[in-house]
Chains A and B, each alone.
Chain A
Amino acid sequence: MLTEGQAGEVFDRIRKFASADEVEVLFSGGRSALTRFANNTIHQNVAEENYAVSVRTVFGGRTARASTNKFDDESLRHVVRASESVAKVQHPDPDLLPMPDTGGIGSPTQVPPRHFAETAVITPELRAEGVRKMVGVAERQQLTAAGVFSSGESIDAIFNSRGVSRWHTQTSAEISITMLAADSSGWQKANSPDVANLDASRLAEIAAQKARDSAHPREIPAGKYTVILEPAAVLDIVGFMFWDYAGMAVLDQRSFLNGRVGTKLFGENITIWDDVAHPLQSGSPFDGEGMPRQRLVLVENGVVKRLVYARGTAERVKRSEFRDRVGPVEATGHGFALPNEMGEMPFNIVFAPPDDPRTVDEMVAATERGILVTRLWYIREVDPYEKILTGMTRDGTFYMENGRVQGGVRNFRFNQSLVQMLSNVEMMSVPQRSCGEESFDMVVPAMKVRDFNFTEVTRF
């Protein structure tokens, strides 16, 4: 692994090669490996080690970035020249701020340890052993298994010529499994910085049970149903709204929050934080300029309280027509690496626990008629302001009646406004770390939602 000392030495060489007013260097990369299986066989099995160094230079309000994965002197000289030559031909940008310095950047946000030695040293043999356990579950139940077991360790770092230096390293492990039967399937996925938190056999057993229980799916008509969305389904759909919590999105007038910050947009029971230090979260505690990620209340009892800001965006919003309509405006440590056109985004979403949490089983028992959804798939935005999203259910969709799961049903297409959905939440579970395929990892609850809008049924 690249060490902080080695990265610092590379930064020193880059500074010597540069003639720009200011220089900022980002490091990213690490070691990763992924064992993939399908048809009860490991069919793909890969490993990689790679690091990128990305150089931003500034000449009097003009900036650009260049990157390479080669750290020899010639390559570093080349990447500095590339960054400087692109920066120099631009028009000065009056909105570009000087890079943060050690005085103005504040103290680093303290986060729990996210690097675990046991996870860093997972071998191909250990991953194969985990896969063997999952395939064993499939074979005992006459099912076919497909999935992944991945592991790795990574670094994120930033150094700038004003003395800022930030370093983050973490490990990661992930298991995802799909169990296939003749006409049904079940799915589970979990990840953590610490592999000790993953239980391959348990995930395989749950996925297998979902495949068995959803066998011989019947078709029921599309329409508005009460749904119970398991946490993975919740995160995959709600993830589509967090781009809009960027101050830049409001400046650009491409956010569904334009004109809505400070209003009660969702139900009283919806409170959402962004909190990189939450014990179930992961990721680095600083943003693309090294600013510490702050813990923020984005939504409180259904009211949208505020947005997130990179340094430059905050200053622009303070001078804009929006300044009095978007809540507190200050740099929050959520900016992307500059230069970019998107600004910032909250990536460490945590839903507040409900006053009266219910398990999924308790939600089912309290449902007269509805649909239980394991996961959602291929979600895309239909309407950017009403936040209507379309997508499909997948890998375990069940009909519920009289407080019991009655069996599998054919998968639905939905066209659902997120604003309406988060206004119709009747019950929630205790939030848990969850992962899906359409959005980033979050700490979210399962939700029971009324009047969820299914518009079509597919063939399986």
Chain B
Amino acid sequence: MKQVTQWALSKAAARDVSYADVRIGAQQSRALTTKNGKVGSATEAESVGLSVRVIADGAWGFAASAGLNRAAVEATAARAVEIARASARVKQSDVCLAPEKPVVAEWTTPHKIDPFTVSVEQNIELLLKIDAELRSVAGITLAESNLNFNREEQWFLSSEGSDIHQTKISTGAGYAAYAFAGNEIQKRSYPNSYGGQWQNKGYELIDELKLLENAKRIAEEAVALHQADQCPEGKFDLLLDSSQLGLQIHESVGHPIELDRVLGMEANFAGTSFLTLDKLRTLRYGSDLVNVVADARQEHGPGLGTFGYDDEGVPAQCTPIISNGLFTGYLSSRETAHTIGENRSGGTLRAEGWNRLPMIRMTNISLLPGEPPLSLEQLIESTVHGILMQTNRSWSIDDKRYNFQFGCEIGWEIKNGKRARMIKNPSYSGITTEFWNSLDAICSSDEWTLWGTPNCGKGQPQQVMGTGHGAAPSRFRGIKVGSAYR
């Protein structure tokens, strides 16, 4: 593969570029689903190709092709240069990259069991057992389950001398039970909605998730929701489980700290951000308890945002985002670091695959757990009147990331430290900084989970990326609840 990348780098160099990098990617995936006792889909896929990114005349060009013979590779490199020169026709200033020491490295996602070594037969058997367990509960009208495995091997070489061979492996699994009755569809998912839990791990994740053990309870809850009371409307103390809080972090912290959004680069599609540059180290983002990091390092855990090097060869890092409530950092790249006074990228540039331009993406954006020991049950015991919401059902936030509304699958009214009743169709809404400033308790590390969001969309053409979000159940005071059904 090095020879192939050298063909591209040499061709670009001969065309007088100031910078070039080449990525060759080989992606492999397996996706299996079941629905109501049968296999829903069963697919294996692979995709291999090369992309060339260059700066010429002070502007960016990018081209990608599946062709890996010398003629195709050189044509792709020449095309990238041609595109860069066209870009230079409409520019305000030259692109300038923060310096980065070239790296020669190998990196592979730590894993115990390569998921592709587990037979499809065994995969399907597990899913059908889960499916049967879900449908054993009277009232379940639809049961769905899924298993997903991905491997992405990449060779990255740059004109500055970087030479990085990296292999990332991820595993995902989950299921959902639906109950349709009267004029209502209720649903419960496990371990999370929209595909379950995903991590950069091997097949060992599947055993850790205790999928089968939880299936009956989840199905029973879906049916029981039909008898539950509607979520009340008003201001309540709100307790969120860690998976819903993970998505709250994703939407109301992760996206607004993307420096490309802040600088207007995503204005036409994903939007901009309320976190204008003047807010760095001046904005009280949250209460004193709020500590958020962007951590791509393996020591943070096996999140979907964990890697050795980003897609422009910058090593994984940990950046403090919110420190004791103060806003302290953005997600940056080599091109954007200088705008916040940094002389080095934060290492967050990633691409969906070999055929996509890398862009600033969340790594693992995590709320650190509280230090005093505190379990979810203890948090409930300390709540006089509140609502506990679990598992996301809907999510929406404006294009500057101020106003959000989330719906959850199930809620519990808490009265005098006890779950008083189940409630259906729970939702809450608010303004980002007001919400984070209302946080008054975070459970401790025993309750902390590094959740995976496999479906984060951004960019044009749109790219889908996996991100990680660590969170422990937390409590927020005086939150607006129930207006989704007003």
A binds B: yes
Mark A residues whose CB is within 8 Å of B. 32-52, 63-70, 79, 82-83, 85-87, 89-91, 93, 95, 123-125, 127-129, 131-132, 135, 144, 146-148, 150, 176-178, 180, 185, 187, 252-254, 258, 339-341, 377-386, 388, 390-392, 394-395, 411, 413, 415, 437, 453, 455-460
The yes or no answer to B137 lying at the interface (CB within 8 A) is: no
The minimal Cβ–Cβ distance linking B77 to chain A, given in whole angstroms, is: 12
Selecting from B39-47, B151-159, B293-301, B364-372, the interface stretch reads B39-47
Q: How far is the CA of A457 from the CA of B180 in the complex (A)?
A: 33
Our pick among A83, A89, A388, A415 for the contact of B44 (Cβ within 8 Å) is A83
The minimal Cβ–Cβ distance linking B322 to chain A, given in whole angstroms, is: 19
Q: Is the CB of B87 within 8 A of A50?
A: no
Our pick among A68, A90, A341, A415 for the contact of B483 (Cβ within 8 Å) is A415
The minimal Cβ–Cβ distance linking A278 to chain B, given in whole angstroms, is: 26
Tell me which residues across on chain B come within 8 A of A125, comparing CB atoms. Answer: 86, 89
Considering only residues 140-170 of chain B, those with a C-beta below 8 Å from chain A are 141-142, 144
Interface string of B338-368 (1 = CB under 8 A from A): 0000000000000000011101000000000
Q: Is the CB of B183 within 8 A of A252?
A: no
Q: Is the CB of A37 within 8 A of B90?
A: yes
Q: How far is the CA of A4 from the CA of B486 in the complex (A)?
A: 55
Q: Is the CB of B90 within 8 A of A42?
A: yes
Q: Closest 3 interchain pairs by CB?
A: A341-B40, A124-B86, A458-B403
Our pick among A79, A176, A460 for the contact of B268 (Cβ within 8 Å) is A176
Known: A36-B460, A38-B267, A50-B355. A413 touches B180 (CB 8 A): no
Q: Is the CB of B44 within 8 A of A128?
A: no
Considering only residues 18-63 of chain B, those with a C-beta below 8 Å from chain A are 33, 35-36, 38-49, 59-63
Mark B residues whose CB is within 8 Å of A. 33, 35-36, 38-49, 59-67, 79-80, 82-84, 86-93, 119-121, 124, 141-142, 144, 178, 180, 183-185, 263-269, 271, 274, 355-357, 359, 393-400, 402-403, 405, 407, 425, 427, 429, 431, 460-461, 483-486
Cβ-closest chain A residue relative to B392: A380
Q: Is the CB of A339 within 8 A of B484?
A: no
Tell me which residues across on chain A come within 8 A of B44, comparing CB atoms. Answer: 64-67, 82-83, 86
Cβ-closest chain A residue relative to B85: A124
Tell me which residues across on chain B come within 8 A of A176, comparing CB atoms. Answer: 268-269, 460
Q: Is the CB of B268 within 8 A of A40?
A: no
Q: Can you report 11 residue pairs joining A to B where beta carbons are below 8 Å apart?
A: A33-B83, A50-B47, A176-B268, A177-B268, A379-B396, A382-B425, A392-B399, A395-B399, A456-B429, A458-B403, A459-B400
Q: How far is the CA of A47 from the CA of B76 in the complex (A)?
A: 9
Q: How far is the CA of A392 from the CA of B268 in the complex (A)?
A: 15
Tell me which residues across on chain B come within 8 A of A43, comparing CB atoms. Answer: 60, 87, 265
Our pick among A39, A384, A386 for the contact of B92 (Cβ within 8 Å) is A39
Q: Is the CB of A46 within 8 A of B42?
A: no
Q: Is the CB of A146 within 8 A of B268?
A: yes
Q: How far is the CA of A128 from the CA of B59 in the complex (A)?
A: 12
Tell me which residues across on chain B come within 8 A of A382, comparing CB atoms. Answer: 393-394, 407, 425, 427, 484-485
Q: Is the CB of A252 within 8 A of B142?
A: yes
Known: A42-B59, A67-B45, A89-B121. A47 touches B64 (CB 8 A): yes
Cβ-closest chain B residue relative to A391: B396
Q: How far is the CA of A63 from the CA of B38 in the complex (A)?
A: 12
Cβ-closest chain B residue relative to A36: B460
Please name 17 further chain A to chain B contacts, defined as beta carbons within 8 Å, in addition to the given A42-B90, A50-B47, sorted by A numbering: A34-B461, A40-B90, A48-B64, A50-B49, A86-B44, A150-B460, A185-B267, A254-B178, A340-B41, A392-B398, A411-B398, A413-B396, A415-B405, A453-B486, A455-B429, A459-B274, A460-B398
The minimal Cβ–Cβ distance linking A127 to chain B, given in whole angstroms, is: 7
Q: Is the CB of B403 within 8 A of A456?
A: yes
The minimal Cβ–Cβ distance linking A449 to chain B, given in whole angstroms, is: 18
Tell me which residues across on chain A come within 8 A of B486, comparing CB atoms. Answer: 415, 453, 455
Our pick among B45, B79, B120, B483 for the contact of A85 (Cβ within 8 Å) is B120
Our pick among B267, B356, B393, B429 for the contact of A178 (Cβ within 8 Å) is B267
Q: How far is the CA of A44 from the CA of B64 in the complex (A)?
A: 14
The minimal Cβ–Cβ distance linking B188 to chain A, given in whole angstroms, is: 14
Q: Is the CB of A253 within 8 A of B407?
A: no
Q: Is the CB of A390 within 8 A of B42?
A: no
Known: A35-B87, A41-B92, A135-B90. A385 touches B355 (CB 8 A): no
Tell me which residues across on chain A come within 8 A of B402, comparing CB atoms. Answer: 458-460
Q: Is the CB of A385 within 8 A of B65?
A: no
Q: Is the CB of B60 within 8 A of A415?
A: no
Q: How far is the CA of A380 from the CA of B263 in the complex (A)?
A: 27
The minimal Cβ–Cβ distance linking B49 to chain A, given in whole angstroms, is: 6
Q: Is the CB of A131 within 8 A of B90?
A: yes
Known: A39-B263, A87-B42, A341-B33. A254 touches B59 (CB 8 A): no
Q: Is the CB of A45 within 8 A of B87?
A: yes
Known: A93-B39, A128-B87. A388 touches B62 (CB 8 A): no
The minimal Cβ–Cβ distance linking A287 to chain B, given in whole angstroms, is: 16
Known: A39-B263, A45-B61, A415-B485. A69 touches B66 (CB 8 A): yes
